[in-house]
């Protein structure tokens, strides 16, 4: 079964549900959309709609079987097998990525890290020894398909090209720029400025502006 | 005029449009939804729908006036004035945030940074001297409303509480956990694992699985 029709916004929420469900496994066998809503902060109606894309299997008054739901979401997201990824760029951001505790829950493992700075090559961070970025092409033999780019903006396009040449088909990009890659390659860009830029919209108006606006939130 | 009815998913895309529009300012006076689509990688229909929430002001065959659109989006997102933010946690991730080049385009400036590690307090990163996290309460006098949390998961709730006590009403949270805050405070969590977890869904199936699935992308 394939799941082409699932909207991108639902795909964006599925890992959030998955994370919450994995944490809820200890608490019981089933979970209602309202209970899940309380954990993830997403409207229960939206949750039920998202789950309806892959067949409604909740039972009214009982909720969703947690284990079944985890299995289903993992299958849809192709997280039912483990994935190895490589990191390029071992600066502050890259080092934070190497130490990030959240990947294992989704079955991801960072298998190698690269940098072009001779001062960084050979160093070990979180059990990973930084290799020369010249060696990225060797990934081909390792059949690793996911690359994480945490290099300065000016270098990111060249690194994306090296990764694609080495057979990578999925890129998580931290550079605030759009990468040109072949159509078969999926890029997800994390731009922390665009996330920060959403914040003021939701913040209450400053008291100085006027009391009438104070209550919005 | 207030914009309560704009869906969260549209709000998520507005900063992406804004960024592209700011970059397009040099290229001309107007931009069509297809041209904008080519830059941001979002369907032109979706773009037109998003803009329709705050009044359709594109002209068929001519497109949108870039300057007007920038002004409008900035107003909606409350980015028409500058915002100061503080960072808590000056480890690898925090240091990367301090050096991040993308905030200025949206009018954000990091005005202070805190850590509880004596080895970090007093150090200067990108012209910001790290202060003792004990001093967070002093933010009250500075009227800074935005806090960025980049501390280890176990400390994030306590830091969120300190920020709220100091008058912060918007938090950008990098810890992979849900923060308990009063309703008036908006939290946006960046979880890089959930972003990575969306990647395999979009990646072409491995050749070993079967040639029939090869072409999806």
Question: Based on the domain organization, do B100 and B188 belong to the same domain?
Answer: yes
CATH number at residue B15: 1.10.10.10
CB contact at 8 A, A13 and A77: no
Question: Based on the domain organization, do A55 and A89 belong to the same domain?
Answer: no
Selected residue of A35, A144, A200 to mutate for chain B interface (largest B Cβ count, 10 A): A200
**Banded model confidence at residue A154, pLDDT cuts 50, 70, 90:** very high
> How far does B15 lie from chain A, in Å, by closest CA?
5
Q: What is the pLDDT of residues B189-199, one digit of tens each?
A: 998 999 999 99
Mark the ranges of chain B whose per-residue pLDDT is less than 70.
Answer: 1-4, 56-58, 206-217
- pLDDT of A217 > 50? The answer is no
Q: With both helix axes pointing from N to C terminus, report the angle between B8-24 and B44-52 in degrees, rounded to the nearest 10.
A: 110
CATH number at residue A141: 3.40.50.720
Q: Do A204 and B169 touch (CB under 8 A)?
A: yes
Residue among A172, A176, A200 whose CB faces B79 most closely:
A200
Residues B8 and B198: their CA atoms lie apart, in Å, by 19
Listed range (A30-44, A199-213, B18-32, B157-171) with the worst mean pLDDT:
A199-213
Q: Does residue B60 belong to any structural domain of this protein? A: yes
Name the maximum alpha-carbon separation found in chain A.
Answer: 64
- 3-class DSSP string for A141-171: HHCCCEEEECCCHHHHHHHHHHHHHCCCCEE
Question: Based on the domain organization, do A88 and A187 belong to the same domain?
Answer: yes
* The last residue of a domain, from among A51, A76, A101: A76
Q: Does residue B105 belong to any structural domain of this protein? A: yes
pLDDT of residue B198: 95
Q: Does residue A204 belong to any structural domain of this protein? A: no
> Which chain B residues are Cβ-neighbours of A181 within 8 angstroms?
none
> How far does B186 lie from chain A, in Å, by closest CA?
6
> How far does A95 lie from chain B, in Å, by closest CA?
6
Q: How far is CA A137 from CA A118, A149, A160, B13, in A?
A: 18, 15, 12, 35
Question: Based on the domain organization, do A128 and A187 belong to the same domain?
Answer: yes
Confidence check on the interface: ipTM exceeds 0.85, yes or no? yes
**DSSP sequence for chain B:** ---TTS-HHHHHHHHHHHHHHHHHTTT-SEE-HHHHHHHH---HHHHHHHHHTT----BTTTBEEHHHHHHHHHHHTT-SS-EEEEEE--SHHHHHHHH-TTSGGGTEEEEEEEES-TTTTT-EETTEEEEEGGGGGGHHHHT--EEEE-S-HHHHHHHHHHHHHTT--EEEE-SSS-----TTSEEEE--HHHHHHTHHHHSPPPTTT-GGGTT--
> How far does A59 lie from chain B, in Å, by closest CA?
27
* The last residue of a domain, from among A50, A76, A102: A76
The tally of domains found in chain A comes to 2
pLDDT of residue B101: 84
Q: Does residue B203 belong to any structural domain of this protein? A: no
Q: What is the pLDDT of residues A97-123, one digit of tens each?
A: 999 888 998 999 999 999 999 999 999
Residue A191 CA neighbour count, 13 Å, CB half: 24
Q: Does residue A48 belong to any structural domain of this protein? A: yes
pLDDT of residue A178: 83
Identify which of A71, A16, A201 has the alpha carbon closest to the alpha carbon of residue B191: A16
Exposure class string for A74-92: b at 16+ Cβ within 10 A, else e: bebbbbeeebbbbbbbbbb
Residues B65 and B154: their CA atoms lie apart, in Å, by 48
**Banded model confidence at residue A210, pLDDT cuts 50, 70, 90:** very low
Identify which of B159, B128, B127, B145 has the alpha carbon closest to the alpha carbon of residue B85: B145
Q: Does residue A175 belong to any structural domain of this protein? A: yes
Q: Does residue A27 belong to any structural domain of this protein? A: yes
Residue among B19, B97, B202 whose CB faces A194 most closely:
B19
Question: Based on the domain organization, do A43 and A134 belong to the same domain?
Answer: no
> Which chain A residues are Cβ-neighbours of B197 within 8 angstroms?
14-15, 18, 77, 79, 106, 108
Q: Does residue B207 belong to any structural domain of this protein? A: no
Q: What is the pLDDT of residues B49-61, one digit of tens each?
A: 999 888 766 677 7
Residues A146 and A164: their CA atoms lie apart, in Å, by 10
Question: Based on the domain organization, do B65 and B100 belong to the same domain?
Answer: no
Question: Based on the domain organization, do B180 and B94 belong to the same domain?
Answer: yes
Question: Based on the domain organization, do A18 and A98 belong to the same domain?
Answer: no
Residue among B103, B178, B201 whose CB faces A78 most closely:
B201
Rg of chain B's alpha carbons, rounded to an integer?
21
Q: Torsions phi, psi of A57, nearest 5?
A: -130, 20
Name the maximum alpha-carbon separation found in chain B.
Answer: 64
Host domain of residue A96: 83-191
Residues A168 and A148: their CA atoms lie apart, in Å, by 10
**Banded model confidence at residue A4, pLDDT cuts 50, 70, 90:** low
What's chain B's average pLDDT? 89
With CA atoms as reference, the chain B residue closest to A202 would be B186
Q: What is the pLDDT of residues B164-180, one digit of tens each?
A: 999 999 999 998 888 99
Q: What is the pLDDT of residues A178-196, one digit of tens each?
A: 899 999 999 999 989 999 9
Chains A & B: contacts with CB separation below 8 Å: 192
Question: Based on the domain organization, do A56 and A152 belong to the same domain?
Answer: no
Question: Based on the domain organization, do B70 and B91 belong to the same domain?
Answer: no
pLDDT of residue B161: 98
- pLDDT of A3 > 90? The answer is no
Question: Based on the domain organization, do B94 and B66 belong to the same domain?
Answer: no
Question: Based on the domain organization, do B91 and B188 belong to the same domain?
Answer: yes
What's chain A's average pLDDT? 89
């Amino acid at each position: 079964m394939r799941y082409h029709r699932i909207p991108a916004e639902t795909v964006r929420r599925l890992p959030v549900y998955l994370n919450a469900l994995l944490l809820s496994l200890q608490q019981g066998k089933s979970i209602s959309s309202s209970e899940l809503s309380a954990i993830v902060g997403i409207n229960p109606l939206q949750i039920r709609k998202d789950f309806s894309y892959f067949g409604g299997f909740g039972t009214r008054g009982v909720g969703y079987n947690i284990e079944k739901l985890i299995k289903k979401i993992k299958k849809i997201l192709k997280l039912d097998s483990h994935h190895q990824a490589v990191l390029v760029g071992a600066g502050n951001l890259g080092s934070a990525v190497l130490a990030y505790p959240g990947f294992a829950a989704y079955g991801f493992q960072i298998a190698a890290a690269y940098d072009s700075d001779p001062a960084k090559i050979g160093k070990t961070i979180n059990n990973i020894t930084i290799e020369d970025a010249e060696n990225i092409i060797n990934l081909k033999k390792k059949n690793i398909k996911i690359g994480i780019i945490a290099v300065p903006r000016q270098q990111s396009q060249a690194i994306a090209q090296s990764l694609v040449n080495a057979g990578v088909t999925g890129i998580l990009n931290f550079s605030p720029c759009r990468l040109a890659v072949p159509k078969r390659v999926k890029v997800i860009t994390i731009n922390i400025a665009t996330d920060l830029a959403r914040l003021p919209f939701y913040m209450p108006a400053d008291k100085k502006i006027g009391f009438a606006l104070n209550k919005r939130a």
